[in-house]
Amino acid sequence: MTIEVGSQAPDFQLKDNHGRTVRLSEFRGEKNVVLVFYPFAFTGVCTGELCALRDELPRFENEGTQLLAVSNDSIHTLRVFAEQEGLEYPLLSDFWPHGETSRAYGVFDEDKGCAVRGTFVIDNAGVVRWSVVNGLPDARDLNDYVKALEAL
């Protein structure tokens, strides 16, 4: 079951593509968070979505907002992917325990072994204020994220 709008966002601790530990709770009281789950690095739709975020990065990563992208890839895969695509925001690895954070948000596809396309806008108090969940083949519209952030 997907986390509902108005719920406290589950805290997590994941390694980023540089091996640094990132905790959602680090941003509480400081920044809103756009949390983007995607299936796998190096796949067509995922690459398109993450590069679109890269191209509009100042809208999603600034003094009031932090962008975090999560997949079930290893940190090593994410490092190469980020370098190849010029992604300068944190790519977090939900590799082991496999899919634990994706499951906590209700976006893990047990049959495929990966996260579906779930996005959560979390305010600086740690409350989910907006979300969208799409199936594996369906890209999201990042303009919807912008509208959700503007409403905070």
Mean pLDDT across the chain, nearest whole number?
95
Could you tell me the pTM of the whole model?
0.95
Q: Hey, CA dihedral for 150, 62, 11, 74, is it positive or negative? A: positive
pLDDT at 87: 97
Q: Which two tokens stand for residue 22?
A: 């990132």
* Mean pLDDT, range 72-86, rounded to an integer: 97
**Backbone phi, psi, residue 3, to 5°:** -60, 135
pLDDT at 142: 86
Kindly tell me if the per-residue pLDDT of 31 is higher than 90: yes
Measured CA angle at 132 (ends 102, 58), to 5 deg:
90
CB atoms near residue 136 (< 10 Å)? 16
Tokens 């495929």 locate to 112
What are the catalytic residues?
46
Kindly tell me if the per-residue pLDDT of 136 is higher than 90: no
* Mean pLDDT, range 22-47, rounded to an integer: 96
Kindly tell me if the per-residue pLDDT of 73 is higher than 90: yes
